[in-house]
């Protein structure tokens, strides 16, 4: 009978979190005589695909400022403690150690100077090779079972693998073609972990046809502008609000502002199925219809003969100004009051008819995942299964656009890797 392969630390998933965990586990286990057998198992033929496509192929590795408020999902206290243990400054220093030179852009995002995500992936792989950590591609894990001496890991092809400690870094469900299809969450649920229901996050939104300017997105396709999107609760209070670049497309909305608010819209719909909460579109400087009306009246007083579309063009690109002016494109000074109020409403809080999202295939990350209450945040060890460590997107945390998701992956990978090495010793 052949013996099953025995590892000290098995890491399932060679995405950002798993690769970081592998490096930090190996570094922590480097004491003389304490060499550990560590392998990272990944179902993909070429692991790291998500790093390569990230940030438009440039990989936005972190941000100039990272706070718990940049994240959604589970407890902010847990998020704060994790980020404190390995903050963005540590990421910068670590990347430097790995030989990745970074540059800060005006948006607060850090990218490799090479503007090429390959630089980051190559540096991670090189460091793992230096440390003697094997990255095993085409190794799909189908089940994990705690045993007396650790874990038995069943793989799709070949004999099971034994590991004394196990790090799960299988990601969420975003970009399934990269190999992250939620199978890890199913395995963790079987082991008793609570899974907060998942939805896509940082995903483009679909708009439906409707009368008036809110349905005219087809005419606006390709238009990028600065805007605010707000999701209001039943009483009209802002539940979530983002400002910044917004892109109209042939299907609806994309660009950072739409991506950032998408998870809030999808969570609301998850809580109230059948509801299609409107997203309120507005100009960043006009926070309420009253303020917009004031602006309109001032603009009309200043130049009453200017047409409405021309007046609105002071705020918005011409195409959008024409759509918002609609049929009433006469001199702005002659605009009847009720029409002026309707236009003011469109400038500050135009209710867009969002009908859905483009799904995990087009999502950058996953909202929901393993409940943070099921992990010890100092070590990322599961409270349900001792010796099992969790990191990355599979946890119930999702960041906004700007390098925050990688920061979460590096930080949780760091904690899980070090703690797993201590446990394996
Ligand atoms: C298009 C795009 C652009 C992005 N750009 C940025 C950006 O610029 N900055 C930023 O901060 N974030 C960005 N993100 C988000 C970021 O990529 C993720 O948050 C991050 O990669 C999550 O890392 P992870 O290691 O937790 O999961 P993943 O990267 O999803 O890795 C999980 C790995 O586990 C493997 N796996 C899954 N199940 C199994 C199994 N059963 N057996 C074996 N292996 C398995 C998968 O093959 C995969 O390699 C982007 C995401 C996308 C999709």
Instruction: Give residue limits of the domains in the chain.
Output: 5-200+365-424, 205-357
Q: Whose CA is nearest to atom 52 of ligand 1?
A: 364
Q: Whose CA is nearest to atom 19 of ligand 1?
A: 405
The alpha carbon of 17 and the centre of ligand 1 are apart by a number of angstroms equal to 8
Atom number in ligand 1 closest to CA 17: 25
The alpha carbon of 50 and the centre of ligand 1 are apart by a number of angstroms equal to 5
Atom number in ligand 1 closest to CA 178: 47
- Determine the residue of 17, 108, 112, 170 to mutate for testing ligand 1's pocket, defined as the one with the most ligand atoms within 8 A of the Cβ atom: 170
How many separate helices (H) and strands (E) can be counted in the chain?
A: 13, 23
Q: Which two tokens stand for residue 160?
A: 């099971």
What b-and-e string marks burial along 20-53, b requiring 16 or more CB atoms within 10 Å of the CB? Answer: bbbbbbbebbeeeeeebbbbbbbbbeebbbbbbe
Pick the CATH number of 5-200+365-424 from 3.50.50.60, 3.40.718.10, 3.20.20.120, 1.20.1180.10: 3.50.50.60
Q: Which two tokens stand for residue 309?
A: 């579309």
Pocket around ligand 1 at a 6 A CB cut-off: 12-18, 41-44, 47, 50, 53-55, 59-60, 140-141, 169-171, 174-175, 178-180, 183-184, 364-365, 392-393, 403-406, 409
Nearest to 282 by CA among 335, 218, 221, 213: 213
Q: Whose CA is nearest to atom 26 of ligand 1?
A: 392
- Non-local (6+) Cβ contacts of 56 within 8 A are none
What b-and-e string marks burial along 211-221, b requiring 16 or more CB atoms within 10 Å of the CB? Answer: eebbebbeebe
pTM: 0.96
The continuous run of DSSP H or E covering 350 comes out as: strand 350-352
Q: Whose CA is nearest to atom 5 of ligand 1?
A: 54
Report the alpha-carbon angle 124-415-22, nearest 5: 30
Q: pLDDT tens per residue, the chain (425 residues)? A: 557 899 999 999 999 999 999 999 999 987 655 678 999 999 999 999 999 999 999 999 999 999 999 999 999 999 999 999 999 999 999 999 999 999 999 999 999 999 999 999 999 999 999 999 999 999 999 999 999 989 999 999 999 999 999 999 999 999 999 999 999 999 999 999 999 999 999 999 999 877 677 677 778 899 999 999 999 887 778 899 999 999 999 999 999 999 999 999 999 999 988 888 889 999 999 999 999 999 999 999 999 999 999 999 999 999 999 999 987 778 999 999 999 999 999 999 999 999 999 999 999 999 999 999 999 999 999 999 999 999 999 999 999 999 999 999 999 999 999 999 999 88
């Amino acid at each position: 009978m052949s013996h099953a392969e025995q590892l000290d630390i098995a890491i399932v998933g060679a995405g950002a979190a798993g690769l970081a965990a592998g490096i930090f586990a190996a570094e922590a286990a480097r004491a003389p005589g304490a060499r550990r057998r560590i392998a990272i198992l990944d179902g993909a033929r070429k692991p790291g695909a998500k790093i390569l496509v990230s940030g438009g192929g440039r990989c936005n590795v972190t941000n100039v400022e990272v706070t718990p408020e940049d994240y959604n999902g589970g407890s902010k206290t847990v998020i704060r403690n994790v980020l404190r243990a390995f903050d963005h400054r540590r990421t910068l220093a670590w990347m430097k150690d790995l030989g990745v030179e970074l540059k800060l852009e005006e948006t607060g995002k850090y990218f490799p100077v090479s503007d090429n995500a390959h630089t980051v992936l190559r540096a991670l792989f090189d460091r793992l090779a230096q440390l003697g950590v094997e990255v095993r591609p085409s190794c799909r894990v189908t089940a994990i079972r705690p045993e007396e001496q650790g874990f038995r890991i069943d793989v799709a092809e070949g004999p099971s693998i034994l590991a004394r400690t196990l790090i799960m870094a299988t990601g969420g469900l975003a970009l399934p073609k990269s190999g992250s299809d939620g199978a890890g969450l199913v395995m963790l649920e079987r082991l008793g972990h609570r899974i907060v229901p998942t939805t896509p996050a940082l995903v483009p939104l679909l708009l439906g046809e409707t009368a008036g300017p809110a349905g005219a997105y087809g005419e606006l396709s390709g238009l990028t502008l600065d805007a605010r999107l707000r999701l209001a609760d039943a009483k009209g209070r802002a539940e979530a609000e983002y400002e910044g670049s917004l892109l109209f497309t042939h299907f609806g909305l994309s660009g950072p502002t739409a991506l950032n608010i998408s998870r809030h819209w999808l969570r609301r719909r998850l809580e109230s199925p059948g509801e299609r909460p409107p997203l309120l579109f507005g100009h960043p400087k006009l926070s309420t219809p009253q303020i917009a009306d004031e602006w309109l009246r001032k603009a009309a007083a200043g130049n009453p003969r200017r047409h409405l579309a021309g007046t609105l063009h002071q705020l918005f690109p011409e195409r959008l100004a024409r759509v918002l002016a609609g049929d009433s494109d006469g001199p702005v000074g002659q605009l009847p009051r009720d029409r002026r109020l309707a236009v003011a409403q469109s400038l500050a809080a135009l209710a867009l008819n969002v009908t859905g999202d483009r799904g995990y295939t087009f999502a950058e990350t996953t909202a929901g995942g393993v409940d943070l209450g099921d992990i010890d945040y100092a070590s990322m060890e599961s409270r349900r299964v001792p010796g099992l460590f969790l990191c990355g997107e599979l946890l119930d945390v999702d960041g906004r656009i700007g390098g925050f998701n990688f920061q979460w992956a590096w930080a949780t990978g760091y904690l899980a890797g070090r703690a797993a090495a201590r446990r394996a010793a």
